[in-house]
Structure 1
Amino acid sequence: MSGHTKENLPGEDRSKWIISRAYDLSWFIAPGFLAVLIAFISHQLDFPKDIGLGSGRTDGKALPPWLWLLLIPGVDVSHVYSTLFRAYWDKEVWNRKKTLLTLTPLFCFVFALILYSFGKLVFWSAVAYLAVFHFIRQQYGFLALYSRKEEGSSNLSLLWDKVTLYAVTILPVVYWHLTPDTRRFEWFMEGDFFYFPNELLAKSVHVLFWIWLLGYAISQIYYLLNEKQISLGKILLITNTSLVWYIGIVYLNDDFAFTLTNVINHGIPYIALVFAYSSFRRKNLPSVFYSAFQKGILALLPFVLILIILAFSEEWLWDSFVWREHSDLFGNKSVIRSELGLGFEFILVPLFFLPQFTHYILDGFLWKGGEDNRELRGFLGFQKLDP
């Protein structure tokens, strides 16, 4: 076990924040608020026009190339590869969880092959719902950390926080399912959700969303008036999450707003969390990474560069052999013209989706702070590690 202790962790004021006040506000909270602000301004300026890009994979050709590169390879796909630092490149974690880290990709690939055998739409529908669950669970994970750091919080208040987090994320998705004719975006591709149009029920869900938020706000004011300390990080996270899911899905109702808010609020906080974790665990990383993380924040450049290279490489494969949409960006016109991969999508799609699928599954195990995750509990400040 590494010799790091709670006092060695990056940042300060660990009692109420995951890393530190400045770090949390800058990297876990601000990205969502900033994305919502940009989405509002862009909507007023009508930019970009007539786009058709969901949070994963729809008609990417409709986005300006620079924006597509920034949002998809730059953030969305890059955050997937940060799992390498969290697990596969951490020697101690690899040795302790070798079975999990080895079998998960194998399971994901076989399962994806089986899914795709039922058809393209079945595959993308299944992974769309898995992605929705994954996106929600990440916000739940951040909330759980802030709630546990809230002094004097009872089990009932923790439950109320968690149920509220699920409400402000699931209700907009339910509204989406009930209003397919008015939604101008998809998650991965057209038809990947099962829709149940019902205008009256949709209005009821809309009203319930705001009633729930109001009820939660009143409850937090009540806790505060009773001299109980409330975690500012928790309140900001709930507010952030509510805005991102409501504005991106219900209010602005355009694909750019949905993509921007969803991708930024999900990808950047995760990358920032893994970067902080990797800095804490640097002695367990390969020497080349250990040397980089000894330089503190300067390690961010090589860290991000590695993620972008891996993400760009994956997107090159997708574009060359499956989507064939961005030849000007990837310089792969000759590969596309050769029509390599045609007829082999049944194996190429599950193969290329493997990093993302593996990330979805591993995330459910790697970030749980149980006793078998002592290095994580130490990183989060819940446990002092042995020297």
Structure 2
Amino acid sequence: MPRLLAPSQGWLFGPGVDLTVFAGSALVSVAFVLAAPWLGAVGDTPLWAWLLFVVCVDVAHVWSTLFRTYLDADELRRRPGLYLGAPLLAYAAGVVAHLASPRAFWTLFAYVALAHFVRQQYGWVALYGRKARASTAERRLDAAAIYAATLGPVVWWHANLPRAFWWFVEGDFLAGLPRVAGTMALALHAVVLATWAGFQVVRVARGQGVQAGKVLLVAATWGAWFGGIVLARDDFAFTVMNVVLHGVPYFALLFRYARGRHAEGGYGAGGALLRAGLPGFLLFLVALALAEEFLWDRVIWHERSLLFGQGSVDLPPDVLALLVPLLALPQATHYVLDAFIWKPGREPALLARLGWGPPPTGEGPPLSTLPDSAMAIPGRND
């Protein structure tokens, strides 16, 4: 009788962690969307939901990159060019785009963000393949499934503009794609995902078991993107489905990394912030996120006077071209750095800090003896 689950391949970090950050995030998103009529959240995202999902999850997770980079003095000394050059180049590109037109800036920013969101989901599924020592063909099929689950709905979105929601600002995505292209994209994405699902059935039939965590990841990704784009009818549904699955696993990644890095010693400011544990870690990030949104609202948006107070500043276009990319710089830097800082092939110590291998000194318990709660949640590993 074939095994339904291969213990050594079924989970990336253990059932508790995988279920919480992947399946749990998706289920929480669905629950909030279904409860929207009772929560008074149909249509535009209400203030409480904006605080919870946009500020405390989306914006705060951007700032969590500090624990991997700028709060670590040793890391800064190791790659000064990257950590100085990334924000400078991101800012310069933003200023040039905004000088061309504000819409050009937000369009560029939206597509960079979209690529980041897609690639993070690919990074998770690539880790499952790495841990299971999957064949090249299986890894390619997994990648095709993730790209189908994300890009299929995105192409459909472009072919059905305008919608009742947008990525950053209204009109940031480029319109003009014929509707038939969206229909074809959904048809192709269904074929790819059906092929991938069929392969999982074949694995069971061969007695190879199911990589349950990977299956849940792909299913959660598809549910969040299809539900949050194709099925969503308002900004609240899109926002909830969009940010929770992206931000929650990243929190777990950075907290686990920070703990591993702190255990090595010499962490500096990052280690001092970790003394308050997970609550202190999250409160620090939320405080930074609130400070950022305060500046956005007082200087640019003027939309949430109940939270941030009233007052507006009328700035000329050339000043806005310098200021808007500056306010967007934490997010832009996060997008750029995330493409470089999660590559264990170039940094062997990274796996040890994430709980995926023995410490560099050879001390400490082997990976197989670590509890689920100590395992890492990497977001991208290419």
Which runs of no fewer than 5 residues in structure 2 stay unpaired?
A: 1-6, 362-382
Aligned to 1:49: 42
The answer to whether structure 1 residue 148 and structure 2 residue 148 are counterparts is no
Per the alignment, do residues 285 and 316 of structure 1 end up closer, same or farther by CA in structure 2, a change over 3 Å counting?
A: farther
Query: What is the deviation of 1:90?
Result: 2.3
Q: Does the 8 A contact of 2:73 with 2:268 survive in 1?
A: no
Alignment of 1:132-281 (within 5 A): 132-151=114-133, 153-181=134-162, 183-281=163-261
Query: What is the deviation of 1:204?
Result: 2.6
Per the alignment, do residues 288 and 123 of structure 1 end up closer, same or farther by CA in structure 2, a change over 3 Å counting?
A: closer
Aligned to 1:96: 78
Whole-angstrom distance in 1 between the partners of 2:32 and 2:146? 23
The answer to whether structure 1 residue 328 and structure 2 residue 328 are counterparts is no
Query: What is the deviation of 1:88?
Result: 1.4
Number of paired residues?
353
Amino acid at match of 1:111: A
Amino acid at match of 1:317: L
Offset from partner CA, 1:79-109 (integer Å, 9 cap, x none): 0100000111123322222221111111111
Whole-angstrom distance in 2 between the partners of 1:100 and 1:198? 40
TM-score by length of 2: 0.86
Amino acid at match of 2:144: V
Query: What is the deviation of 1:143?
Result: 1.0
- Between 92-101 and 119-128, report the one with greater CA deviation: 92-101
Equivalent position SS for 1:312:
helix
Per the alignment, do residues 109 and 288 of structure 1 end up closer, same or farther by CA in structure 2, a change over 3 Å counting?
A: closer
- Between 350-359 and 230-239, report the one with greater CA deviation: 230-239
Whole-angstrom distance in 1 between the partners of 2:233 and 2:108? 23
Offset from partner CA, 1:324-367 (integer Å, 9 cap, x none): 11122013x2xx24x26455211110100000000000000001
Whole-angstrom distance in 1 between the partners of 2:287 and 2:356? 34
Whole-angstrom distance in 2 between the partners of 1:126 and 1:68? 23
- Between 107-116 and 373-382, report the one with greater CA deviation: 373-382
Aligned to 2:364: none
Q: Does the 8 A contact of 2:72 with 2:268 survive in 1?
A: no
TM-score by length of 1: 0.85
Whole-angstrom distance in 2 between the partners of 1:186 and 1:285? 43
Query: What is the deviation of 1:289?
Result: 4.5
Whole-angstrom distance in 2 between the partners of 1:281 and 1:15? 27
Identity of aligned residues (%): 36
Amino acid at match of 1:37: A
- 2:327 pairs with 348, 352, 355, which one? 352
- What value does the CA root-mean-square deviation take over the aligned residues? 2.2
Per the alignment, do residues 317 and 97 of structure 1 end up closer, same or farther by CA in structure 2, a change over 3 Å counting?
A: same
Aligned to 1:64: 46
Whole-angstrom distance in 2 between the partners of 1:382 and 1:187? 35
Query: What is the deviation of 1:285?
Result: 5.9
Whole-angstrom distance in 2 between the partners of 1:263 and 1:348? 25
The answer to whether structure 1 residue 304 and structure 2 residue 265 are counterparts is no
